[in-house]
Structures are given as structure tokens and as C-alpha cells.
């Protein structure tokens, strides 16, 4: 199965269904970026992801001139048991995008579009372990050295797992709401995160 598409020298793609890993789909994480960063990382069995990883590795090699690290790079990392440090057999596909300021000094909210497979499961609380599929673009960058990152464009929520308890010390999931007063839309593309499952067919 082919996961990446190329148009005019730029690549985009869509993942297989995976488990959301520390998702930030509604409200951005501002711990390391004051403007906020959205995260749509997924955990999948490495065997299942090997074809996608091979395609990404080829793009990386074409852009940088060398192959990416097999265990961890800007596109993925092999998962390890937190207690033993042993490989779990899964891989974390990293898909993140940060907000920016436009030329007018206004916030460009780059929140990915969110779609729901089932209208009855629509919620603003999307926790780790939720089954999701991610449409992403491949961003080839050059900042002192060359690299490749994956930026989420749209996320299809196939099965929701809500965050448990009042707070999660590991940061997985979020207590968030689709609050339009907290964001400043700049483009039509950045102003469509409240999509219902009735429009989920548009994800494909």
C-alpha cells in the first residue's frame, strides 16, 4: 500500500489507523512554544508501519542526502517500555504543527481539522488511546541542517477515549473546548476544526 502522494515536488500522505499518543488536537500545547503546538502523534505496531516508514525514509534521503536514524528521528521513534527500556514493538509516528504569526502580527492558528466517524461520539475531550487516522503534509526544512517533519492537516476520530480523572500528570489528552473566542482565524483552512461526523467522508 502506498501512503504518500507527490504533487509539484511536495509530499502529503495519510496514516493507517493508530492510537493517539499524548494528543493535542483541540487546544495547543504551549509548554515549549508560546504560540502553541498541536500534536497528532500515533502509536502503531512497527511491522504495520514499515511501508510508511520506508516511503518517508526515501523522502528524507532525497532531501538530506542521508538515511534517517532507524530508532528515532524527526518523523518517528521506536517505542520503549518506560520501566525496562525494552522495545515494545510499536513505533510513534510524530505529527506536529506550531502556530505562527502572520505579516500583520495576527496569530495563524494551525489547528488541524477534526472529523468524527460517529456523530454520537463527537466530543472536545480526545484522550490518549483514541483510534485516529491522520492526513499530513511532509515538511522538508533547512535550518542550519536539513530535516523532514510531518505536519497534521486533518484528523479522523474513529473511536474516542476520553481523558480519565481530573488531571493527567503525563499530559496525555486535554481538558479543552472548541472556543472560538480563544483563537484568531487567519485563513479558511485554519478555521474549520468543529467539523461533525456528517462531513467525515470529506476526510478522504
The pLDDT of residue 163 = 81
pTM for the model stands at 0.80
pLDDT per position as a tens digit, 76-93? 999 999 999 999 999 999
Q: Report the pLDDT value the prediction gives residue 89, as an integer from 0 to 100.
A: 97
On whether the CB atoms of residues 84 and 39 are closer than 8 A, the answer is no
Grid coordinates given for 70: 532507524
How many other C-beta atoms can be found within 10 angstroms of the C-beta atom of residue 99?
21
The three three-digit cell numbers of residue 31, written as one number: 509548554
Helices of type H across the chain = 46-64
At 201 the pLDDT is 53
State the cell numbers at 119: 456523530
Residues of the chain below pLDDT 70: 165-204
Beta pairing class for 100-101 and 107-108: antiparallel
Q: What is the pLDDT of residue 119?
A: 84
Q: What is the widest separation between alpha-carbon atoms in the chain? A: 50
CA dihedral 119, 123, 128, 131 (to 10 degrees): 10
C-alpha to C-alpha distance for 5 and 21, rounded to whole angstroms: 25
Give the phi and the psi of residue 45 in degrees, each rounded to 5: -60, 135
The per-residue pLDDT for 161 is 94
Amino acid at each position: 500500500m502506498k501512503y504518500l502522494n507527490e504533487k509539484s515536488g511536495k509530499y502529503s500522505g495519510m496514516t493507517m489507523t493508530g492510537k493517539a499518543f499524548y494528543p493535542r488536537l483541540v487546544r495547543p500545547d504551549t509548554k515549549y512554544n508560546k504560540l502553541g503546538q498541536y500534536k497528532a502523534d500515533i502509536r502503531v505496531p512497527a511491522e504495520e508501519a514499515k511501508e510508511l516508514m520506508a516511503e518517508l525514509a526515501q523522502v528524507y534521503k532525497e532531501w538530506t542526502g542521508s538515511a534517517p536514524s532507524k530508532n528515532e528521528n524527526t518523523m518517528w521513534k521506536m517505542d520503549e517500555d518506560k520501566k525496562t527500556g525494552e522495545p515494545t514493538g510499536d513505533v510513534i509516528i510524530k505529527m506536529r504543527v506550531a502556530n505562527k504569526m502572520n505579516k500583520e502580527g495576527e496569530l495563524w492558528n494551525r489547528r488541524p481539522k477534526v472529523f468524527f466517524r460517529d456523530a454520537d461520539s463527537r466530543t472536545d475531550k480526545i484522550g490518549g488511546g483514541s483510534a485516529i487516522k491522520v492526513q499530513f503534509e511532509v515538511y522538508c526544512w533547512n535550518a542550519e541542517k536539513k530535516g523532514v517533519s510531518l505536519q497534521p492537516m486533518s484528523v479522523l476520530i474513529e473511536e474516542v477515549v476520553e481523558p480519565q480523572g481530573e488531571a493527567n500528570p503525563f499530559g496525555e489528552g486535554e481538558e479543552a473546548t472548541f472556543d472560538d473566542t480563544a483563537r484568531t482565524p487567519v485563513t479558511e483552512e485554519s478555521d474549520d476544526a468543529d467539523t461533525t461526523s456528517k462531513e467525515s467522508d470529506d476526510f478522504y
